[in-house]
Amino acid sequence: MTDVLRRGRASLAFSFFAQGATFALLVTRIPAIQDRYGVSDALLPAFLAAVPILAGVGSVTTEQLVKRIRPSRLLRWSQPVVLLALLGVGAGDRLVELAVALGAFGLAVGALDASMNMLGVSLQRTYGRSIMLGFHATYSLGGIVGASLAWVGAHWHLSLFVSYLPVVLVLLPAALVGSRWYVDGGAASGLETDADAGVDAEVGKGQGESGALVFRLLLPLCLVMTFAYIGDSTVSNWSAKYLQDVLGSSEQLATVPYNVYMVMTLVGRAVGDFGVRRFGAVAVVRLGAVVAALGFAVVAVAPGAWVGMLGFTLLGLGLCVLVPQTFAAAGRLFPGASDAAIARLNIFNYVGFLIGSPLVGALGDAWNYRGAMLVPMVLVLATLGYARSFAPEPDRYGDGHERPRTADVGRGSNGL
């Protein structure tokens, strides 16, 4: 494997790490952000919902931009905007400043998420074997680091600006330097053939026989992405409250499940690529869905906090494989128009995030929180019905299915 590919893979992994840390620093300090800007409880949901909505807009915009601009260039400049927007959140003191900073964060993070996964899918195609879970493992590692730094800032009563500034000063120049080695895959560089562009146009119109066929191919992956993020947002938003209010844990113990969940996503993703290579994507996705559903079931029936902790541990191990494999599957289904497919699929990341927390909260208030946990369990189980979409022949990665490697690595991003 060439040095160009190794450097491209390492620099992209760092981008995933930086984004994981940045996002964790934002979401784990929401109470401090609310206090700093005097955001009322009634207004807070509007601010929080605006970020994923604008991220969806950013992802849709990215789909159009990559027809003229390489994903590597979009990633190179969207990541600094995300980092500076985070710093802006910590620097302001008026609601309008918070709105501008979060707006910039949301739009840029949509472009960032889409372009990162575009490059990851194109690199996986060039390698000819599963490496996508490894990129998302570094995202999980960044999330753990970011959450830990946020805890330090809260523990020492540091202002948001003081907490964010050192992180931005480290990550921003490192990301810019690393962006020199991003690698755009030939098929994923936005330089589509006329035939590919025609198919992509049909996807956008949703008309005609071929457009309907392409939509049917992508729809199962969109649903799986939504279900996975409903599960993820359930853990991130409700694990602490569930452990404390339903299972009777202490306030201190209630902070542990999400950390355990993040560690398990890191572990699962770190070894997940080996599972895909050995058993194939379909088997890994099915196992992940079953383990995640079992985790929700354990949480729902847990008699106490420690059994509930076991359930959240299983959730981390199960849910962690679904999102990376969904992006990878989109790349395999649409090898000539993977950028467009990934940009559209990425929107459902934010759809799941928007649905998950309100859904569980509404069901918990109207029924009970144990019963509410069964709804994401059923949705995750529905993934089993769509598992075949993850390994269309003959592009399945795995033992005995790996395609020959190619020396054509596309064009790097240097000098673009």
- At 166-188, the pLDDT tens digits run 999 999 999 999 999 999 875 33
Residues 359 and 375: beta-carbon distance below 8 Å: yes
- At 91-117, the pLDDT tens digits run 999 999 999 999 999 999 999 999 999
Locate tokens 């989109």: which residue?
330
Q: Identify the CA nearest to 253 among candidates 292, 301, 308.
A: 308
Residues 310 and 298: beta-carbon distance below 8 Å: yes
Distance CA 246, CA 210 (A): 50
Share of the chain above pLDDT 90, in %: 65
- At 28-75, the pLDDT tens digits run 888 889 899 999 878 888 888 899 999 999 999 999 999 999 999 999
Total Cβ atoms within 10 A of residue 129: 16
Residues 174 and 208 in one domain: no
Distance CA 103, CA 99 (A): 6
Local structure of 209: helix, strand or coil: helix
H, E, C per residue of 195-233: HHHHHHHHHHHCCHHHHHHHHHHHHHHHHHHHHHHHHHH
pLDDT at residue 240, rounded to an integer: 83
- At 330-353, the pLDDT tens digits run 998 888 888 989 999 999 999 999
- At 118-170, the pLDDT tens digits run 999 999 999 989 999 999 999 999 999 998 898 888 889 899 999 999 999 99
Please check whether residue 252 lies inside any domain of the structure.
yes
Total Cβ atoms within 10 A of residue 301: 13
Residues 157 and 257 in one domain: no
Total Cβ atoms within 10 A of residue 237: 19
The number of distinct structural domains making up the chain is: 2
Q: Identify the CA nearest to 372 among candidates 305, 300, 278.
A: 300
**Residue 190's pLDDT band (cuts 50, 70, 90):** very low
Residues 134 and 268 in one domain: no
Residues 275 and 316 in one domain: yes
Locate tokens 């707006």: which residue?
103
pLDDT at residue 186, rounded to an integer: 54
pLDDT at residue 392, rounded to an integer: 54
Domain of residue 119, CATH code? 1.20.1250.20
Please check whether residue 406 lies inside any domain of the structure.
no
Residues 379 and 310 in one domain: yes
Residues 120 and 216 in one domain: no
Please check whether residue 411 lies inside any domain of the structure.
no
Query: DSSP states of 346-385 as a string?
Result: HHHHHHHHHHHHHHHHHHHHHS-HHHHTHHHHHHHHGGGG
pLDDT at residue 119, rounded to an integer: 96
**Which one-letter DSSP state was computed for residue 243?**
I
CA 339 to chain centre: 16
**Residue 202's pLDDT band (cuts 50, 70, 90):** very low
- At 242-293, the pLDDT tens digits run 988 899 988 778 878 888 999 999 999 999 999 999 999 999 999 999 999 9
pLDDT at residue 163, rounded to an integer: 94
Residues 248 and 344 in one domain: yes
pLDDT at residue 408, rounded to an integer: 36
Domain around 339: 195-400
Distance CA 109, CA 81 (A): 9
For residue 241, what are the CA distances in angstroms to 71, 101, 317, 355?
Answer: 39, 29, 21, 18
Counting Cβ atoms within 10 Å, is residue 273 exposed (0-12), middle (13-18) or buried (19+)?
buried
Flag the least confident range among 9-23, 135-149, 381-395.
381-395
Residues 177 and 199 in one domain: no
The answer to whether the peptide bond before residue 358 is cis (omega within 30 degrees of 0) is no
Question: CA-based diameter of the chain, in Å?
Answer: 61
Please check whether residue 127 lies inside any domain of the structure.
yes
Residues 354 and 234: beta-carbon distance below 8 Å: no
Helices marked H in 66-193: 71-91, 95-127, 132-155, 160-178
**What helix, strand, coil percent values describe the chain, rounded to 5?**
80, 0, 20
Residues 167 and 302 in one domain: no
CA 323 to chain centre: 7
Total Cβ atoms within 10 A of residue 268: 23
What are φ and ψ of residue 183, in 5° steps? -120, 125
* Residue 51 structure tokens: 């970020």
What are φ and ψ of residue 403, in 5° steps? -80, 155
**Residue 387's pLDDT band (cuts 50, 70, 90):** very high
H, E, C per residue of 9-40: HHHHHHHHHHHHHHHHHHHCCHHHHHHHHCCC
pLDDT at residue 97, rounded to an integer: 96
- Please, what is the angle between helix 44-65 and helix 338-366, to 10°? 160
Q: Identify the CA nearest to 136 among candidates 288, 1, 305, 311.
A: 288
Q: Which residues pair with 411 in a beta bridge?
A: 184
Residues 57 and 116 in one domain: yes
Residues 319 and 312: beta-carbon distance below 8 Å: no
Please check whether residue 189 lies inside any domain of the structure.
no
Residues 203 and 171 in one domain: no
Please check whether residue 222 lies inside any domain of the structure.
yes
Counting Cβ atoms within 10 Å, is residue 86 exposed (0-12), middle (13-18) or buried (19+)?
buried
**Which one-letter DSSP state was computed for residue 336?**
T
Q: Identify the CA nearest to 390 among candidates 343, 349, 345, 337.
A: 345
Flag the least confident range among 156-165, 187-196, 320-329, 354-363.
187-196
Please check whether residue 415 lies inside any domain of the structure.
no
Q: Would the pLDDT of 200 be above 50?
A: no
Q: What is the CA radius of gyration of the chain?
A: 21
Flag the least confident range among 45-49, 255-259, 323-327, 399-403.
399-403
**Residue 217's pLDDT band (cuts 50, 70, 90):** confident
Residues 199 and 301 in one domain: yes
